[in-house]
Amino acid sequence: MTDDEIIRLLEARQEEGLSALTERYGTFCKRIVLRLLPQSEDAEEIVNDVWLRVWESIPPQKPESLQYYLAKLARNLAFDQYRRQNADKRGGKEIPLVLDELASCLPAGETPETALHTKELGAEINRFLDRLPSRTQDIFLRRYFFSESVSEIAERYHMREDNVRLTLSRTRIKLKSHLKQGGYL
């Protein structure tokens, strides 16, 4: 079943849409959750929460890319769970590494007054990513959106880990410069 067919079923409030969604994207979503929470017994529950969010949001939402929409939901719910589990401690998982790597590129601390600024910042980061070569963009997204490890990315692109780290470092430097020029830092 295609993504458009799944979305049509969900818009029609037919439970077949959820079954098709689970069949097509269940493993994909679970992989994202397990990448962020590798030892989480809650992975299945988080994936079920993704299905609930999809059911509640389609309609009115009609995502352009169902796969990225699901990835974003799974990632955000996994991050929320991670924060709950690790409120005052840092574990050995990828999330602390990913967040530390990006920390110097992003403004600190959000308040209600900065919510609009944060939304604009997200749009600016997307514009920056759109200008990158596709491979560099994909490496950046795999690391900072999907939280893949450097070794997984290196294996995927048949690169040395040092080359992946260098690509990520250069891209972060460019992102920081881009955000400074835009007045975000």
The model's pLDDT over 76-131, given as tens digits with 9 standing for 90+, comes to 888 888 777 765 444 445 555 665 666 556 555 544 444 445 667 777 888 888 89
- Same domain for 113 and 143, yes or no, is yes
Contact by Cβ (8 Å): 130, 140: no
Does the pTM surpass 0.85? The reply is: no
CA distance 36 to 38: 6
Q: Which residue has the tokens 């996994």?
A: 78
- Same domain for 98 and 54, yes or no, is no
- 33 vs 147, more confident: 33
- Same domain for 105 and 81, yes or no, is no
- Same domain for 119 and 40, yes or no, is no
- Same domain for 81 and 132, yes or no, is no
- Same domain for 21 and 52, yes or no, is yes
pLDDT digits (tens, 9 = 90+) for 36-48: 787 767 788 899 9
Last residue of a domain, one of 85, 111, 128: 85
Number of compact structural domains in the chain: 2
CATH of the domain at 150: 1.10.10.10
* Percent above pLDDT 70 for the chain: 79
One-letter amino acid identity for 3? D
CA distance 130 to 6: 28
Angle separating helix axes 66-85 and 3-11, nearest 10 degrees: 70
- Same domain for 78 and 8, yes or no, is yes
- Same domain for 13 and 61, yes or no, is yes
- Same domain for 108 and 170, yes or no, is yes
Last residue of a domain, one of 85, 103, 121: 85
Contact by Cβ (8 Å): 36, 94: yes
At 157 the pLDDT is 94
- Same domain for 17 and 79, yes or no, is yes
- 5 vs 114, more confident: 5
* Percent above pLDDT 90 for the chain: 35
* Token pair listed for 106: 């992003």
* Token pair listed for 32: 């994202």
Of residues 2, 13, 1, the one with CA closest to residue 59: 13
- Same domain for 135 and 161, yes or no, is yes
CATH of the domain at 24: 1.10.1740.10
Q: Which residues of 137-170 are buried (b: 16+ CB within 10 A; e: fewer)?
A: ebbbebbbebbbbbebbbeeeebeeeebbebbee
- 114 vs 56, more confident: 56
Domain extent for 133? 94-181
- Same domain for 106 and 168, yes or no, is yes
One-letter amino acid identity for 10? L
At 93 the pLDDT is 53
Last residue of a domain, one of 27, 58, 85: 85
